[in-house]
Structure formats: structure tokens, C-alpha cells
Amino acid sequence: MVLAKPDITWENQEADSLYLTMANLLELSQRYEEIRHKSETLMDITQVFTSLSHASRASRLEVIIIILIFVEIFLYLFQFKYWSSFPVA
């Protein structure tokens, strides 16, 4: 839509000529392509940072789960040793 001609250029030849002259003078298509390229690059960078953030969060959760499993094993072994040291009545 940025590079689309206004409706008046379809009806008025002078307006069309003025639009083409100004578009060339202001380098609209080149500037539009540069802005589009930069915005795509920024979107790629944003996606990379998002995926890195999710990966970091996932690895942190995995470490927490492993620690909880070790705590549960330790508590089980402690309970097994504690209860086996009492004589059975």
C-alpha cells in the first residue's frame, strides 16, 4: 500500500506525472525496500531471542525437575534407613 498510487493519478495525467517525479526524487521504492529489509531482520532477531529465552526456561525447568527427583530419592533412602533401624514389635 505504501507504493500504491493515489486514486487521483488514475484520473489526472498531471497528478500522475507529479507523483512519478516525486517518487523518483524521494526514492520511495528504494527506501521502502530498505525499511522492509530492516524490519525483517529485526523480526528474525526477535525470533532468535524468543527461542533462546524459551530454551533457557526449559533447561532451567529440567534442572529443577532433576533436583526434585534427587531430593525424593534422598528422602526415600533416609526414610528407609530411619524405619529399618527400629526393631519390629
What are the angstrom distances between the C-alpha of 57 and each of 20, 52, 62, 89?
52, 9, 9, 51
Q: Are 28 and 3 in contact (CB under 8 A)?
A: yes
Instruction: Judge if pTM exceeds 0.75.
Output: no
- The number of angstroms, rounded, from the C-alpha of 55 to the middle of its chain's C-alpha atoms is 12
| End-to-end Cα, the chain, rounded Å | 88
Q: Along the 89 residues of the chain, how does pLDDT read in single tens digits?
A: 777 888 888 899 999 999 999 999 999 999 999 999 999 999 999 999 999 999 999 999 999 999 999 999 999 998 888 776 666 55
